[in-house]
Structure 1
Amino acid sequence: MRPQVPDAADVLARVAARGWTLAVAESLTGGLVVARLVDVPGASAVLRGGVVAYATDLKASLLGVDAGLLAERGAVDPDVAAAMADGVRRVARADVGLATTGVAGPDPQDGKAPGLAFVAVATPVRSLVRRLDLPGDRAAVRAGAADGVLTLAIEAL
């Protein structure tokens, strides 16, 4: 049995209650987080948009992640996740940024095992990053990372 899925509507309601807006930077989830958010009626009142920066170089060019950091550690890193969340806040002119990065598999990336992911949330008040070690195939890892970032957002808000 799969654990309860975090409620995208709850995330949007918490952001709205603060008068804030939200944007998402996604890598391994490839738009899955934004899709969950836009499934909620009225999401446009809060959601500014999303950036799918699947390729490592796009994390630098679109989101402003430090190219040196990416070269040194690779894209699957807690500091990269945090920089993606900050970057999407800036690019989208949003108050809250969510970010996902990791390895969906089946093969390792930059020496990192499939199932390893980092999710981040950046708000005007605080920033949080969480490591996730997710079991399963590509779909399960992607879904787990989307769940993970929404859960972290609820905690941060």
Structure 2
Amino acid sequence: MKGINVTNELIDLATRVGQALQAKKLMLCTAESCTGGGVAQAVTEVAGSSEWFDCGFVTYSNTSKMEMLNVSYALIAQMGTVSEEVAGAMAEGALASSNADIAVSTTGIAGPTGAVAGKPVGTVCFAWSRADHTHTERLVFQGDRAAVREQTVRHSLQGLLRFLE
């Protein structure tokens, strides 16, 4: 079984995220689909991350997104699971279901199958959320499943750093 390769670069990014969260006295949670917990894995590679990481939700199925993160069926049906709108709802739902102050979410098509019209393999939607603001993005990464997932974790952490500024 091959998981996400938590490289020194990812650990360095996660360390910087932790320092930024600690400086602002904030707690983080994750809501992940296509990364299968890879963001939480990178974050928890950092010693002392319990000071700034609350929890992670791995909501791979639509049912788990609805039940655990309160993402509406209507939103999924209208926009599709891989959409900025669903990513935003996932992040907001993670905040509501945790003790965290800031959330990051990922939903995408890591491949090699799963592409649909307008959403090729490598399409990933992200959201970063706090009580007063949610920011979303959609990117298309190149490479195999492992490469897409690793790039998604990297972008999630980089986005957290920008979101915390």
TM superposition score normalised by structure 1 = 0.93
- Corresponding residue for residue 82 of structure 1: 88
TM-aligned CA deviation for residue 93 of structure 1:
2.0
2:157 match = 150
Matched to 2:64, the amino acid is L
- Structure 2 partner of 1:55: 61
1:19 maps to 25
1:116 aligns with 2:126: no
Which residue matches 1:130? 137
Paired residue for 2:99? 93
> Could you give the per-residue CA deviations for residues 103-122 of structure 1, whole angstroms, max 9, x where no partner exists?
00111345421100011100
> Residue type matched to 2:48 in 1?
G
Aligned residues of 2:79 and 2:85 also touching (Cα < 8 A): no
**In structure 1, what is the Cα distance between the partners aligned to 2:60 and 2:115?**
13
In 2, Cα distance between equivalents of 1:139 and 1:150 = 17
- Tell me the residue number matched to 2:6: none
Aligned residues with identical type, % of pairs: 34
Alpha-carbon distance between aligned partners in 1 of 2:131 and 2:69, rounded to the nearest angstrom: 18
Instruction: Tell me the SS of whatever aligns to 2:97.
Output: helix
- 2:20 and 2:161 in contact (8 A); partners too: yes
Count residues in correspondence. 154
Report runs of 4+ in structure 1 exceeding 3 Å deviation: none
CA drift of 1:56 comes to 1.4
> What is the rounded CA distance, in whole Å, between the counterparts of 1:74 and 1:125 in structure 2?
25
Could you list the runs of 5+ residues in structure 2 that have no partner in the other structure? 1-8
Aligned-residue offset at 1:16 = 1.3
Q: Per the alignment, in what secondary structure is the counterpart of residue 42 of structure 2? A: helix
Any idea what the Cα deviations from partners look like across 1:78-137, whole Å, max 9, x if unmatched? 010011111111111210011000000111345421100011100234321111110000
The runs of 5 or more residues in structure 1 that have no matched partner are none
Checking the alignment, whether the CA contact within 8 Å between 2:88 and 2:135 is kept in structure 1 is yes
Superposed CA RMSD in Å reads: 1.4
| Partner AA of 2:158 in structure 1 | T
